[in-house]
Structures are given as C-alpha cells and as structure tokens.
Structure 1
Amino acid sequence: MEEKLHKFLTEKLPEKEADAILEELITQEMDADLRKRLAKTLDQEHGITREHGKRKTKVRYLGYILAAAASISILIALVFYPNTSMDNPQLLAQQYLQEQHFSHPGTFKGADSTMERQRSQAIASFNNGDFSNAITHFNTLTSPTAEDSYYLGLSYLMDEQYGPAIGNFEKSMATSERFMEEARWFMGLAQLLEGDTEKAEETLNGIDPNAWKYKEARSLLEKMKNK
C-alpha cells in the first residue's frame, strides 16, 4: 500500500486511478483505532475537530483548514506513513503549497473597458478558487501586467499545469521586480512538482537569505540532496 501511496502523492494520475488508490487506502487503514489516531492528530496538532473538518468538493481534499484546503493524501501520509513524508521533497512541496492562502487584492471598481472587465472576472474566479476559469479570463488579456502574469502562473500552478505556471512566473519576473520573491518561490515548487529537480534546485538556490520563504527553500533543497 505504501508504494501505491507514493505513486498517488508524486505522480499526476488519471482521476479514476487516483480515486481507486485513495478508496483502497481508506478502506484498509481507517478502522476504529486509526480513526482515533487521525482525530487525535487533527485535534492536537491542527486544532481541527470533527465538526470543523467537513469534506470539501473532491474526495481527494478534506480541508486542511489552517490556511485553506489541504490534501487528504498529505494528511494521511503524515499520520500513517511518516517516513514517506519525511523523505519526499515533492510531498513537502505540496504541503507548502496547500498551506498557502491565496488571495488577489482586487482591482478598481467600475471597470469601463473589455480588458478591465475580463481582469475583474479573472480576479473574482481566482479568489473563489476557480482556477480553471481564472486561467481562461487572464488569458484573454491582450496586454497583461507583471501582476497578471504572476496570478496566471498561480492559477496554472493550483490547476497542476506546471509548465504554463513556470512560463508565467518567468514572464512576471522579467517584466517587473514587484513579485520577484513570490514568483521565484512558486516557480521552484512548480519545477519540483513537474519533476525537473535540476531547475528546481537552481531556482531555490537563487532565493536570498533575507527573502520570503528562504527557510522553506533550504528545507526543500536538503530533502532533494538526500533523495
């Protein structure tokens, strides 16, 4: 089962296969004793009780409620398969990503052009967690700003389209330094989750000691070195 869990966590599987693995995992592992262990971990380490930990949308995600929504696969791995989570840089990258709360600051009201209306729709979709629709609207912008490219990159990243995410982060950094630290960090995560460890290492090594997410970058690099 641990081999299947590792595949579930590190590979982008067809939804049917991923659901089958998760169903098997829950069936095998979630007996009375393990449910108690899970409840104890949620309560003691994350302050989540049963009434707060309600299921959200897809079965793969239960709500890792401290920051937004977290993957049930990550939670189960942390509780029942600690060695898997400790040694896997991609899993750690997913943890960092799921713990991050994303919110676009918005735009001015009264948008009076087609582009501004599309931008407003993109922002609304992004803030609602509808990343696929956000991608559609951001891509209609004929003259995207560094901010547009950055949030489009985030939308692709959350939609697990790592190649386009990387491209938009690069575009944002080339256009302006405003989102440089954030874009570099998330680009490193995207490269790692895509499987390009060499590029991820180069990107994460470029994070300055005084920059945002430096400690997390060093943790990922350490995991990558020991992999």
Structure 2
Amino acid sequence: MGNRRFYSNILMVCLLVFSLCSCKKNEIIRSGTVSYNVVNVMVGGNAVVLNQSPQDSVVNRSSKVLTGTGGDHLYVSAFSYKNTALNYFGVDVNGADGDLFTLMLSGFWPNSVDAFFYKEISIPPYSDSTLSVRLINLLKGGPAISVNLIGAAPGSEVAALPYQGIGTFKSHLSTSVAAPFTFEIRDATNGTLLSSYILVPVSGVSAYTLVWNGLLGGTENQAPGILQINHGKL
C-alpha cells in the first residue's frame, strides 16, 4: 500500500512538472516597442483609435505614429473614435522591438473603408546631402497618377501610380536645408495637371512620404490634396 502511494505521488509530481513546462513553452513573450504609422484619409471620416495605443487618436486627413508593446501574435485593430463597434481593420502581427508598420485607411467612411497594412522596410536613413521622397495614391475615385518635379518631364518621379499604389523613395541632392521642391501631380493617362505641391524640407528630416488623397471632384475637407509625412532620423 505504501509503495503504491509513493509511486502515485511520484506520478503526480511528474505530471505537475510537465504541465508547468508546457505552460512556459506556450507563453507568449511581450517585450520591446513596435510603432504604427496610422494614415487616416477616409473620405468623410472621423478620428481613428488603435487598440495597441487606445489613449491616443488620429484625426481625419492626418497621420500619426502610435506605439505598442512588441511580441508574437499581436492583434492590431483600428476602430472609430468613441465607437469600438465601428471596426475598420484587424490583423495578427509578429512585431519585434523597433519595427515600424504603416496602416493606410482610405475609401468612404463609414461603410466602404479601404485598409492597407504593411511593414516599413525601405525608409532611407537620415542624410545631410540628399532628400528622399515617395508618393502614395489614396485619392478615391481618381485616376492613376504620374508625378514630376516642376520643369522635369511628366512621370520622371513616378510614371503611373494606381489607387493604393506605393511608389519607391527617390533621392535628390539637397543643396540647401530650406530649398523647396515643387511636385506636379498629373493624370497618368493624358498628362493633365491635377495639382502641385511645394515640399519645404524640415530640419532633421530627409525622407518624406506624400499621400495624394481626398475625393475626385470633392470640395472643402474632401478636396484632393497632399498629406505630407515626415520620417525622422532612424
């Protein structure tokens, strides 16, 4: 009887140790900081909240970098300010310390929102002598666009960028920190000038994203325009 109880106790200890080891193996580690650049250009939209940073919000036609804890299987969602039932996007993310993701929200608010989420891997490091610019086309209902610096050939910066298209960074020699760069946005099909934008470099920033957004034919807060995103020193 004593031997049976002894072996029974041994078995219980082994099971307990196995259970503890299994729990530890399956534990999800949370550490480090992951950043999310939220670009909110929904037509007619309101402020957006990210569940990884619920105390902050991104107003319409703006962008902001929000932060959260890193780790595997992070559920990242974006929803309407003060209305968690109006969810625009959700994804499971494996985020390591220092990672930067971009979430672009465009389309029509609230029932036809277009979301695009990706990890940033191509932002150029800071440079004293060059200025790097890329274009993103989020103009709802608009044509593919071409972009050029004023005086240069149409399409010399971007030849044809469709809706939700992301251009590559193109670098230019910067002879002066304050020297402006004027970009012309055209219809990629017929070359019609849609708009122009003057980029004035910001001290400590050498990489920029210009987001063409709004509504084709829209007025006031929905008029087509450029949202400038400054990428600070990496």
The alignment's TM-score, normalised by the length of structure 2, stands at 0.24
Which structure: greater helix fraction?
1
Higher relative contact order (CA 8 A, sep 6+): 2
Which structure: greater strand fraction?
2
